[in-house]
Amino acid sequence: MLNQNKIAVVIPYFNASKHILNVLVKLPKIIDTIYIIDDCSNETLPKEVLIRFQNVVYLKHDKNLGVGGATKTGFKAAIADEVDIVVKVDADDQMDTNYIEALIKPLINNQADYSKGNRFRDFKALKAMPITRKIGNLGLSFLTKAATGYWNNFDPTNGFFAVKTSTLQRLDFEAIANRYYFETSLIAELYFEESRIKDVSMPAIYGDEKSSMSVWKMPFVFLPKLFKTFVKRIIKSYFIYDFNMSSIYILFGLPLFLFGLIYGLYTWWFYSSQSIFAPTGTIMLVTLTIIIGFQLLLQAVHYDITKAPKSK
């Protein structure tokens, strides 16, 4: 407990029997309850865990639901037990639990509703990060900013985070993904509740655990989901929950830009195939619609950036 706030840790457990004890030993004393969710692991949880740690609540899934599904089970248990703040920690000992208090403090001080690690503010840790993971995270982080609306936050796929249970209670858990897209979909749902997110600088830790998803598969998994998240957010934020100047910019800017682009490509193909010059009026029409449409979309992006929920 910290400042009269009941603190819990949720640990999704899957094939981590070599590491789970180290994770538990390193947890700070402020933790009141530890929820370990066995996601149909092939490796049973070491018996020593339940004997040595009296504050462990062990939950087991009947079928594998993925890291997101296991974490959501922990969330629901924490809500039922009237916990104030939940910290999500992985079972592979690749998260520095010394930073748990740093994650919790912004929530206790009402500076944020959700705080997470940011591995890109530590230059030494960034240099040590594998190059493929570094490039992938940088690209993915930018696309996630656009998709979720949290333009002021970075490293959105970081799974080391703390969140208020009062915030979790307002979320639609069915809309939050069970597997690789869990963290991003969680942040996307937080946006609709105007939840404030705080980044906490911390180093990345890489052990001997390997991701079950190949690097080359990542774009094919995330890009369609990010596009769907982006479209859903824009429609809800600017045409269902609200209608403002940015809605006008999108409503006129997108058709103008697409018309100019598509008609311009068609014009270029048609006149080049005829080996003749396009009329000046046609060129001006294409140019103006692209420029005006693009400028309106830029204004919409600017408004969207200023609208992003900000932590104190």
* 153-166 pLDDT per residue, tens: 888 878 899 999 99
Determine the straight-line distance between the first and last CA of the chain, rounded to whole angstroms.
Answer: 23
As a whole number of angstroms, the distance between CA 244 and CA 73 comes to 38
- Residue 151, pLDDT > 80, answer yes
Predicted confidence at residue 155, as pLDDT, reads: 82
From residue 286, alpha-carbon distances to 11, 90, 268, 278, 294 in Å are 55, 53, 10, 11, 12
Question: What is the rounded average pLDDT of the residues 18-41?
Answer: 95
CATH topology of domain 7-237: Spore Coat Polysaccharide Biosynthesis Protein SpsA; Chain A (3.90.550)
Task: Give the number of other CB atoms < 10 A from CB of residue 51.
Answer: 9
- Residue 203, pLDDT > 80, answer no
* 207-243 pLDDT per residue, tens: 555 555 555 566 677 889 999 999 999 999 999 999 9
Predicted confidence at residue 266, as pLDDT, reads: 94
* 36-79 pLDDT per residue, tens: 999 999 999 999 999 899 999 999 999 999 999 999 999 999 99
Q: How many residues does the chain have?
A: 312
Residue 132 near residue 215, CB atoms below 8 Å: yes
Pairing outcome for strands 7-13 and 33-38:
parallel
Predicted confidence at residue 286, as pLDDT, reads: 95
Residue boundaries of the structural domains of the chain: 7-237, 243-307
The pTM of this model reads 0.86
- Residue 183, pLDDT > 90, answer yes
Residue 142 near residue 29, CB atoms below 8 Å: no
Question: What is the rounded average pLDDT of the residues 175-194?
Answer: 93
Predicted confidence at residue 216, as pLDDT, reads: 58
Question: What is the rounded average pLDDT of the residues 89-115?
Answer: 93
| Amino acid (1-letter code) at residue 59 | L
